[in-house]
Amino acid sequence: MKSSLLILLFFVTLSAWAQKSSSFNELSAIKKEGKDFEIKLRAGTSDALVMAIHGGTIEPGTSELADATAGEKHSYYSFTGLRDDYVSLHLTSTEFDEPRLLVLTKQAKNCLGLHGLKDDQIDFCIGGANAEKRKSYFKLLSQKFPKWRTCELCCPPNLGTALKNVVNRCQSVGVQIEMGQSLRLELLNNSIFLKELSTMLQAELGKN
């Protein structure tokens, strides 16, 4: 009985590994745009870009915040999951090479990537390769939203500091904000909180 259970777990794990893709070409060969996922983007008037590469059903709340943060001022990109099979739609930040986003990152000076943590180990985890911007976001979030726990480079392995990370492919390298589940749920259910947070992020992103 025990050996049978171990064999079952092995094949379940193997199946999960097999579903993960290591490039957009690989993912798009098994998942269909418009059915399994959609890509939303628009150009802004500034040289800044907000991205949610795990939006929709993958990491709920991230695409909504990215959209609101970008507004009409900054450029916006979201890879939006349409199905509950979020594991197979999750392309890691260092492997995210979707061509339309790569064009946007080349054009942008400042980039902000929004992500979701699997639990509530922390509310805001500030990462990314731009140390100066990281500290600015940390200070602002800590002061503006003291209710929520904010820290810098405190949620490994989701630190976003690798230069291969798509958020660091913009001209000044970028900042990545990982958000806990409870915080993202609050974003989805509290329009006032969404407005306050997105307005603050939008203003900081627009600074040189």
For residue 5, being part of any structural domain is answered with no
70 lies in which domain range? 22-205
Using DSSP's 3-state secondary structure scheme, residue 72 falls into coil
Q: Provide block-wise average pLDDT over 10 residues at a time, the chain (208 residues).
A: 36 40 87 95 96 96 98 97 88 93 96 96 97 97 97 96 96 97 98 98 92
Tokens of 145: 């939203």
Pairing of strands 75-81, 37-42: antiparallel
In angstroms, the CA 50 to CA 62 distance is 10
For residue 136, being part of any structural domain is answered with yes
Helix (H) or strand (E) holding 40: strand 37-42
In angstroms, the CA 73 to CA 65 distance is 14
Contact in structure between 22 and 95 (CB atoms under 8 Å) = yes
pTM, full prediction:
0.88
For residue 15, being part of any structural domain is answered with no
Q: Give pLDDT, residue 3.
A: 43
In angstroms, the CA 186 to CA 60 distance is 11
Q: Give pLDDT, residue 28.
A: 87
For residue 114, being part of any structural domain is answered with yes
For residue 97, being part of any structural domain is answered with yes
Tokens of 108: 């942008």
For residue 11, being part of any structural domain is answered with no
For residue 6, being part of any structural domain is answered with no
Q: Give pLDDT, residue 4.
A: 40
The count of domains in the chain is: 1
Beta strand spans in 84-184 (E): 110-116, 124-127, 150-152, 175-179
Q: Residue 158 is part of a domain; what is its CATH number?
A: 3.40.630.100
For residue 14, being part of any structural domain is answered with no
Q: Give pLDDT, residue 24.
A: 87
Distances in Å between the Cα of 112 and the Cα atoms of 50, 121, 126, 160 are: 5, 21, 10, 11
